Structures are given as C-alpha cells and as structure tokens.
C-alpha cells in the first residue's frame, strides 16, 4: 500500500521530534540527578512509566500478553543494567559526551551478535567500528587526555544495548506479542528493580522525594515525552516509512543532545571533540545505510523506551 506524501511528511516530523526529545533526555536527566540519587530517580521515572502503561497489562489475559510477560522479564533485567550504567554515567560525564557515546550501540551490535549467535558481521562493520573508535578517542581523549568513569559507564551501556538487541531478537522474533505490554513489563522491571537495589546498597535508604519543581518537571518530561510520546510517534512512523528512512532521521539524536547540553547546561566541547562526535554520528549513519548489514541495531533502538 502506497503512503501519501502528506502522511510521510508527518511521520518524518514526528521522528525528528523523537530525535530531539531523546537527544535532550541526557541533559534533562543530568539536571534531575542534582536533586536525587541515581537509583531513586530511575525507580521514580520507570515506576511512573509503568503506571502510565499499566492498562496494557490487561493483555496478560491473552496469549500475546503472556508472551510479552515472559520475554519482558529477562529483557527488563538487561534494560535495568543499561539504565544503571547510563544514568550513573550521565551523572559523571558531560551530557554531550553521553549523547555521542551511547550511539555506539549500533556499531557494537554486529560484534555482539557474532559472539552470541555466531554470525560474523559484514566487512563494512570493521570500517565503521574503526571510524567510531577514532571519533571516541577524539571526543573523550583528544581535548583533555582523560577518559573518566562516566565515559566508561556510557560505553558499557552502549555495549549492553547491543546485547539487548540480540536478546530481543532471540526472544521475540516470530512470536505474536503485545508490544505495549512488553514495554510496560520492561518499565516495571527497571522501576521496581531500582527500588530493590537501592534498598540493598544504600545504608540509609532513599531520601525523601525532593520538593523542587525543576526535579518534577524534568521527571515528567522524561516520562511523558521521552517514553510515552516517543513510543507512539515511532509506532506511527514505522508503519508509514521504511526502516532506512527512520534510522537515518533518528541518527540526528546525538547532535541534538550535544547542542542541548551546550545551550541548557552550558557544557563546552572543543573543536577536536566536535570532530570526534561528528565521526561517531557519521559512522552511525553509515551503519544504517542499506546493504551493509548494520541496520538491525538502528531499527531496534528506534523502539527503545528512553
């Protein structure tokens, strides 16, 4: 069925809006972490998301919902690891660095698939990986000759996202599954898992919720726009566009993230760091081009729940 130019244009605009809100999520999360600990913030953010999506749990009465439950539990544990690394990383490095580095998940995915499933990546994957590594060096080492813990945690999050791609493929491909229920289950695992970890590792437990309006506005923005709106917009766009077009539009996310961090948080990147970030984005866009075998990662992460 052909899609009208008007509907395709609407889909493109919605995808760009998703790229904008996801790009800004790093800076917004970093701002919220000024007021509340990482584990508490994750628990609040994803428990609220779970509550918002809880009507979809009615699907558990049907086979598609139960399939989403059994896939969502292990995938939620991986996602919990992703967000713990990512959110602690954001707290310890620049939001602009995080926005660039997290996009390396697309480059990592074929190599993780090689290790997990025995499928050798295409030759172009090695070229893309080299360009990305060069960009990472320029972004993080090039200006200050330092590579901090936050950068390392973001890279670990990118690697775990690649693992998430492979495990999602293994657990969901070829099965009838309620997608929204799957998202709700994963959000619940991240939210309640963060509460459990906080209860175990924090001697005095979590502090009282902050009263600052800036914290609550940041949290609301992440829940409403970076999760619920983004999910709807992606679903709308994917049904009306091609995976390549979607992935190329979403490839602008790191640039929006860096620009937002520079404007709103006052972060500064040197010229060398901007060149490094540009190489990462360029490699990511190349990875989404048809025929080089890396499109699956970009296609999956347009469906993430951040």
Instruction: Judge whether residue 295 has pLDDT over 70.
Output: no
pLDDT recorded at residue 291: 55
Q: How confident is the model at residue 42 (pLDDT cuts 50, 70, 90)?
A: very high
Q: How confident is the model at residue 128 (pLDDT cuts 50, 70, 90)?
A: confident
pLDDT recorded at residue 234: 66
**Is 140 contained in some domain?**
yes
CB-count exposure of residue 93 (10 Å: 0-12, 13-18, 19+):
buried
Q: How confident is the model at residue 306 (pLDDT cuts 50, 70, 90)?
A: very low
**Is 136 contained in some domain?**
yes
**Is 232 contained in some domain?**
yes
- 74-90 pLDDT, tens digit per residue, is 999 999 999 999 999 99
Mean pLDDT of the chain, nearest integer = 80
**Is 16 contained in some domain?**
yes
Pick the more confident residue, 305 or 156: 156
65-69, 75-79, 126-130, 240-244: the lowest-pLDDT one:
240-244
**Is 137 contained in some domain?**
yes
Model confidence, pTM: 0.79
Number of folded domains that form the chain: 1
Closest of 101, 125, 104, 99 to residue 114, by C-alpha: 125
Instruction: Judge whether residue 35 has pLDDT over 70.
Output: yes
Q: How confident is the model at residue 188 (pLDDT cuts 50, 70, 90)?
A: very high
Tally of CA atoms within 13 A in the half-sphere of 47 that contains its CB? 12
Q: CA 36, CA 151: separation in Å to the nearest integer? A: 21
Pick the more confident residue, 212 or 14: 212
Give the domain extent around 69: 5-301
Which two structure tokens, joined as six digits, stand for 241?
A: 């566009």
Q: CA 257, CA 98: separation in Å to the nearest integer? A: 8
**Is 22 contained in some domain?**
yes
Q: CA 227, CA 221: separation in Å to the nearest integer? A: 9
**Is 306 contained in some domain?**
no
**Is 171 contained in some domain?**
yes
**DSSP string for the chain:** ----HHHHHHHHHHHHHHHHHHHHHHHHHHHHTTTS-HHHHHHHHHHHHHHHHGGGGGGGGSHHHHHHHHHHHHHHHHHHHHHHHHHHHHHHS-HHHHHHHHTTHHHHHHHHHHHHH--PPPHHHHHHHHHHHHHHIIIIITTTS---HHHHHHHHHHHHHHHHHHHHHHHHTTS---HHHHHHHHHHHHHHHHHHHHHHH-TT-PPPPP--HHHHHHHHHHHIIIIIIHHHHHHHHHTTS-HHHHHHHHTTHHHHHHHHHHHHS-----HHHHHHHHHHHHHHHHHTSTTSS-HHHHHHHTT---
Q: CA 188, CA 56: separation in Å to the nearest integer? A: 12
CA dist list (Å): 166 to 77, 111, 117, 133, 275? 14, 10, 8, 22, 30
């Amino acid at each position: 069925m052909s899609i009208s130019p008007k509907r395709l244009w609407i889909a493109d605009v919605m995808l760009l809006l998703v790229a904008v809100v996801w790009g800004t999520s790093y800076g917004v999360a970093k701002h919220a972490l000024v007021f509340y600990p990482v584990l508490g913030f994750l628990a609040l953010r994803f428990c609220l998301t779970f509550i918002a999506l809880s009507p979809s749990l009615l699907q558990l009465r049907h086979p598609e919902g139960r399939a989403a439950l059994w896939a969502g539990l292990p995938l939620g544990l991986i996602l919990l690891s992703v967000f713990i690394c990512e959110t602690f990383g954001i707290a310890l490095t620049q939001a602009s660095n995080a926005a660039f580095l997290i996009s390396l998940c697309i480059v990592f995915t074929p190599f993780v698939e090689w290790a997990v499933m025995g499928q050798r990546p295409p030759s172009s994957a090695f070229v893309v990986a080299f360009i990305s590594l060069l960009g990472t060096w320029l972004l993080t080492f090039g200006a200050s000759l330092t590579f901090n813990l936050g950068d390392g945690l973001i890279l670990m999050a990118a690697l775990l996202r690649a693992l998430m791609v492979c495990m999602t493929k293994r657990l969901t491909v070829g099965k009838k599954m309620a997608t929204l229920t799957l998202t709700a289950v994963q959000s619940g695992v991240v939210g309640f898992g963060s509460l459990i970890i906080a209860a175990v590792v924090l001697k005095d437990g979590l502090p009282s919720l902050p009263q600052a309006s800036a914290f609550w506005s940041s949290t609301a923005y992440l829940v409403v726009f970076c999760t619920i709106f983004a999910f709807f917009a992606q679903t709308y766009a994917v049904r009306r566009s091609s995976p390549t077009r979607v992935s190329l539009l979403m490839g602008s996310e790191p640039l929006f993230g860096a620009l937002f961090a520079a404007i709103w948080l006052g972060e500064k990147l040197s010229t060398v760091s901007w060149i490094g970030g540009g190489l990462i984005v360029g490699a990511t866009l190349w990875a989404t081009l048809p025929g080089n075998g890396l499109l699956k990662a970009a296609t999956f992460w347009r469906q993430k729940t951040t």
